[in-house]
Structure 1
Amino acid sequence: MCRICGGPKSDGGRWPHCTHCAQRQRLSLIADTTLAELRGGLSLNQYHAKIRGWSRSVYDGPRRCLECGYSLHVDICHVRDVSTFALYATIGEVNAPENLIALCKNHHWEFDNGFLTIRSITKHRPAAKNKAGAGAAGVS
């Protein structure tokens, strides 16, 4: 049994937590890492890939495009471009739920290139998550 959720462990019992809880624990440790700390020692591509990967792990919204509803493959996009955060901002701030949305490839491109605005997208979002400011996503 997982020590956190009480659910079954999927690794045969070697670790005290199930896969889901272990991943959440790792992400919570990463959340306090600053962009500057992450950037050190990584190429620019590796840096952005890490941020994208973690954003997919923490995103808990619907896995469908918030603009058109497409659900076979979506990108998890940053509402506020990662490059606009200060280097002392944490991964937790950059990948905060209110800064992440799901878009299909086409709408992601339109959003990144200014053809689609956050205002038009947020018409489709649940009211409780409609906290994101204007901006374009550039990393996801």
Structure 2
Amino acid sequence: MNNCLHCGARTANPKYCSRSHAAIHTNQQAPKRRLTYKCAECDTLIPASRQFCAVHGKRKADYRLLTVAQLKAKDAIKHPSYYRGYLNSITRLLNAHRPRICQVCGYDKHVEYCHKVPIKAFPDSVAVQVVSGPDNILVLCPNCHWEYDHSLLTINSAPFST
């Protein structure tokens, strides 16, 4: 008779008394994924969902002050194709205080942020806050967004404007 490597119980099996104890012991010894990571700036342990610790996360550059050129630069994002997604996330942050209701029809299940002046119309030297700030953004449902982009909808006819 042998002892289970997990609980110490007597077993006929050479190592474990059950499959669950084998799995528990193996996963504790060699987990498949890391549950904690190190900060990109220092060796402080942080949750896997973060990149920086509390100290270094606050020191990062303010995204509102970035220019479009800085946002497109290779050191700001990993790949040039990520620019649009990163700009969309900044747009959501800059407009988080606004109600999530379509300014035209009042639909509130799903809304999108629509640029009044297209992004490509701005020079690269303009701050992201101007491109994606509340003054250049409309909160619209997908249907109204499409209509606005195809010049079928005007802003002056919006009864639910905020």
Asked whether the two chains share a fold, i.e. TM above 0.5, the reply is yes
Match of 1:111 in 2: 148
Mapping for residues 59-98 of structure 1, pairs under 5 Å: 59=95, 60-98=97-135
Report if aligned partners of 2:106, 2:160 keep a CA contact under 8 Å in 1. no
- The percent of aligned pairs where both chains have the same amino acid is 29
Residue type at the aligned position of 2:139: A
Counterpart-to-counterpart distance in 2, 1:99 and 1:75: 13
Structure number having the greater strand percentage: 2
Q: Structure 1-normalised TM-score? A: 0.65
Q: Deviations over 1:72-121 (max 9, x none)?
A: 11001111111111110011111221111210001111111111122223
2:89 equivalent to 1:53: yes
Q: Which residue of 60, 64, 87 corresponds with 1:31? A: 64
Counterpart-to-counterpart distance in 2, 1:49 and 1:33: 15
Counterpart-to-counterpart distance in 2, 1:87 and 1:98: 18
Report if aligned partners of 1:70, 1:104 keep a CA contact under 8 Å in 2. yes
Moved more, 84-93 or 33-42: 33-42
Report if aligned partners of 1:33, 1:90 keep a CA contact under 8 Å in 2. yes
Unaligned ranges ≥5, structure 1: 1-10, 17-21, 127-140
Report if aligned partners of 2:114, 2:145 keep a CA contact under 8 Å in 1. yes
Q: Deviations over 1:26-70 (max 9, x none)?
A: 6x7011111111112242x42111111111111122101111111
Counterpart-to-counterpart distance in 1, 2:67 and 2:110: 29
SS in structure 1 of the partner of residue 117 of structure 2: coil
The structure having more radius of gyration, on CA atoms, is: 2
Aligned residues: 105
Counterpart-to-counterpart distance in 2, 1:97 and 1:106: 20
Counterpart-to-counterpart distance in 1, 2:133 and 2:110: 21
Q: Structure 2-normalised TM-score? A: 0.57
Counterpart-to-counterpart distance in 1, 2:133 and 2:100: 16
Q: What is the Cα-based RMSD across aligned positions, in Å?
A: 2.4
Counterpart-to-counterpart distance in 2, 1:52 and 1:103: 15
